[in-house]
Chain A
């Protein structure tokens, strides 16, 4: 069974601080996606990474896919209160069924 371990599960920081969220597995994923979810809404896709070693940027967010495609990270530079939310990583496994395996989620609170 493929699993994704996401850490930390909770993070409370001051505006302007940097942070990194990690998503790790012992399994290889063909792609990995990051979502952000706000209360009362469904998860919204931020980025999909496909190639080992790939780095993608979305404003102050930097996403990296590990060389072996077993892990990923999300780094936020100078976090803002608007970055507050639940961050979820999800990997597409090897079964080619379209199903995603989700990490446990990271609840981020950025205080002004």
Chain B
């Protein structure tokens, strides 16, 4: 299985600022995803990060608020822009292992964001 790291692990930000979260994988993967999770609750998919093209966003999420970069097959960033307290959440990246035929996803440890 892929080993995934995220930076930062947590951050406290002021309203109106932005936070960029990095996701690094130890192997090349085709599919990378970004999720949001309220503590103790389930995961909501924000977008699929596509290498070499724009991310594909889920309903309710827009590029202006959540710009995503995917410069290569091992790295992606998610920026949460113009922060408000409602953006306080855990943000997780995941990858689909290229060696697996099923949609088996492996998750990073998450980034806990608190917006004051």
Which residues of A come within 8 Å of B, CB atoms? 6, 30-31, 33, 35, 39-45, 48, 50, 86, 88, 90, 92, 97-100, 102-105, 107
- Provide 13 A-B residue pairs closer than 8 Å at the C-beta atoms, listed in order of the A residue: A40-B112, A42-B108, A43-B43, A43-B92, A48-B104, A88-B43, A90-B105, A97-B48, A98-B33, A99-B103, A102-B44, A104-B41, A105-B42
A-B pairs under 8 A by CB, number: 63
Q: Using Cβ atoms and an 8 Å threshold, which residues of chain B touch A39?
A: 39
Q: Using Cβ atoms and an 8 Å threshold, which residues of chain B touch A92?
A: 102-103
Given A31-B102, A97-B48, A98-B48: A42 in contact with B107 (beta carbons within 8 A): yes
B19 adjacent to chain A (CB < 8 Å) = no
Tell me which of A40, A88, A98 contacts B103 (CB under 8 A).
Answer: A98
B40 adjacent to chain A (CB < 8 Å) = yes
User: Complex formed: what's the CA distance from A99 to B96 in Å?
Assistant: 9
Given A98-B48, A102-B43: A43 in contact with B102 (beta carbons within 8 A): no
Chain A proximity of B102: nearest CB distance (Å): 5
Q: Using Cβ atoms and an 8 Å threshold, which residues of chain A touch B40?
A: 86, 105, 107
Nearest to A35 among chain B residues (CB) is B107
Q: Using Cβ atoms and an 8 Å threshold, which residues of chain A touch B102?
A: 30-31, 48, 50, 92
Q: Using Cβ atoms and an 8 Å threshold, which residues of chain A touch B43?
A: 43, 88, 102
User: Complex formed: what's the CA distance from A107 to B109 in Å?
Assistant: 18
* A-facing residues in B21-75 (Cβ within 8 Å): 31, 33, 39-45, 48
B1 adjacent to chain A (CB < 8 Å) = yes
Given A102-B42, A105-B41: A45 in contact with B106 (beta carbons within 8 A): yes
A41 touches B105 (CB 8 A): no
Tell me which of B31, B48, B107 contacts A43 (CB under 8 A).
Answer: B107
Tell me which of A6, A86, A88, A99 contacts B48 (CB under 8 A).
Answer: A99
Chain B proximity of A57: nearest CB distance (Å): 18
Lowest 6 CB-CB distances: which A-B pairs, in order?
A42-B107, A92-B103, A105-B42, A98-B31, A102-B42, A98-B96
